[in-house]
């Protein structure tokens, strides 16, 4: 009788027990670390994820945000990757603006291997450059940028993908410029342009639409310059449909107008590589090396579920002014693999751009 009762009680307990992944996050607090400052593009996007992600994770953990700007986004990556103040117990996830340059050139500022992180999700983002209207002096974009004087370019760090793409494209058309770098977030960059401390920069399309448009473009202070195109599957390049419809030409088109020939060479190949990766993975959600597989799998499920969550998608569109373009774990991991086999001449071109 006692044995039968014990078996019955055990069976009841097992039937009523939550699954293992629910037990993992139940009652826990997860810290999302963002590698740029409060109010910037990455921060604004990350906080939208925080508001909707818990209901898609078994156990419904509380998620809080911690901003750690610095070194063009590498400070947070280094601290999490080396477990300096952050555990690998599943309670930490990074939402990072991705720097594709640092791992390619083996930048000593990056003290961890990106491949050691657990890839959770990515967020795509087209990039458009913009500048104060007076830099063109009424000329075409191609002629104005090629011959512009006193071109001061706003950036985040010499080795940031943002800065490197700006330097590569301006260098390719022969523009003379000076980098003004070290800004903690896009809000600070736009403020500097508003105050005429810089006159040219770039932004992902969500940040451009939600911040640059109302602050700078709408009031007539600045204008779009060009968009960064990505490699097309069948060859050639393609741009963002909305920007193209608005008359914003791609850099490839501007280069042809400025030089009379198509772009080529290691510097252009370096731009294409970094831009293709950064456009597909403008932001990445990563968990520290050594994070339990159960936690990684559950977090991946949570991010994947947001792709069909109408409440999340509606808020993202309303706040960011663009649709959320999520990149799954398998595709994201494959993109990161491109970092492992880069031609020496492309590495050299990127290293040179970092030093400029």
pLDDT exceeds cutoff 50 at 18: no
* 271 and 205 fall within a common domain: yes
pLDDT band at 22 (very low <50, low <70, confident <90, very high): low
pLDDT exceeds cutoff 50 at 17: no
Question: Pick from 243, 278, 313: which residue ends a domain?
Answer: 278
By residue range, what is the domain housing residue 337?
22-124+280-343
* 58 and 167 fall within a common domain: no
* 101 and 136 fall within a common domain: no
| φ, ψ at 30 (rounded to 5°) | -105, 135
Question: Pick from 248, 278, 308: which residue ends a domain?
Answer: 278
The verdict on residue 350 lying in a domain is: no
* 33 and 156 fall within a common domain: no
Looking at residue 23, its pLDDT comes to: 78
Residues 222, 223, 225, 226, CA torsion sign:
positive
SS3 316: helix
* 162 and 272 fall within a common domain: yes
Domain count, the chain: 2
* 145 and 209 fall within a common domain: yes
* Domain of residue 297, CATH code: 3.40.190.150
Query: Which of 18-22, 84-88, 172-176 has the least mean pLDDT?
Result: 18-22
- Both tokens assigned to 75: 């400070």
The verdict on residue 65 lying in a domain is: yes
* Domain of residue 238, CATH code: 3.40.190.10
Question: Pick from 225, 250, 278: which residue ends a domain?
Answer: 278
| pLDDT tens per residue across span 96-133 | 998 999 999 999 999 998 889 999 999 988 999 999 99
Looking at residue 13, its pLDDT comes to: 43
| pLDDT tens per residue across span 206-257 | 889 989 999 999 999 999 999 999 998 888 999 999 999 999 999 999 999 9
Q: Calculate the average pLDDT of the chain.
A: 91
Reported residue count of the chain is 356
* 152 and 98 fall within a common domain: no
- Both tokens assigned to 221: 């202070």
Nearest to 117 by CA among 279, 290, 283: 290
Q: Which of 110-114, 162-166, 202-206 has the highest mean predicted lDDT (pLDDT)?
A: 162-166
Query: Which of 139-143, 296-300, 308-312, 331-335 has the least mean pLDDT?
Result: 331-335
| pLDDT tens per residue across span 62-73 | 999 999 999 889
With vertex at residue 339, the alpha carbon angle to CA 169 and CA 129, rounded to the nearest 5 degrees, is: 25
* 151 and 258 fall within a common domain: yes
Looking at residue 283, its pLDDT comes to: 93
């Amino acid at each position: 009788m006692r044995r039968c009762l014990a078996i019955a009680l055990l069976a009841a307990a097992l039937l009523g027990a939550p699954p293992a992944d629910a037990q993992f996050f139940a009652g826990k607090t997860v810290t999302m670390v963002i590698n740029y400052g409060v109010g910037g593009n990455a921060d604004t996007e990350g906080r939208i994820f925080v508001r909707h992600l818990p209901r898609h994770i078994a156990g419904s953990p509380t998620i809080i945000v911690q901003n750690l700007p610095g070194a063009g986004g590498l400070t947070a990556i280094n601290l999490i990757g080396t477990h300096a103040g952050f555990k690998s117990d599943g309670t930490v996830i990074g939402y990072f603006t991705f720097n594709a340059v640092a791992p390619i050139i083996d930048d000593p500022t990056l003290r961890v291997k990106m491949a050691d992180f657990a890839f959770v999700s990515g967020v795509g983002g087209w990039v458009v450059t913009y500048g104060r209207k007076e830099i063109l002096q009424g000329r075409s974009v191609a002629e104005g940028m090629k011959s512009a004087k006193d071109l001061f370019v706003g950036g985040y760090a010499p080795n940031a993908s943002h800065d490197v793409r700006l330097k590569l494209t301006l260098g390719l058309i022969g523009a003379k410029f000076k980098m003004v770098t070290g800004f903690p977030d896009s809000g600070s960059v736009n403020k500097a342009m508003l105050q005429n401390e810089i006159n040219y920069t770039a932004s992902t399309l969500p940040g451009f639409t939600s911040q640059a448009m109302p602050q700078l473009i709408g009031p007539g202070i600045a204008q779009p310059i060009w968009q960064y195109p990505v490699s097309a599957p069948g060859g050639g390049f393609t741009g963002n449909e909305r920007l193209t419809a608005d008359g914003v030409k791609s850099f490839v088109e501007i280069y042809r107008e400025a030089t009379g020939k198509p772009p080529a060479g290691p510097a252009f190949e370096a731009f294409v590589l970094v831009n293709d990766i950064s456009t597909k993975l403008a932001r990445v959600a990563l968990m520290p090396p050594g994070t339990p597989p159960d936690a990684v799998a559950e977090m991946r499920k949570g991010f994947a579920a947001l792709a069909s969550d109408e409440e999340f998608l509606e808020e993202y569109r309303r706040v960011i002014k663009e649709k959320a373009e999520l990149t799954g774990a398998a595709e994201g991991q494959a993109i990161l693999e491109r970092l492992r086999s880069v031609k020496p001449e492309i590495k050299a071109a990127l290293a040179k751009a970092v030093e400029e």
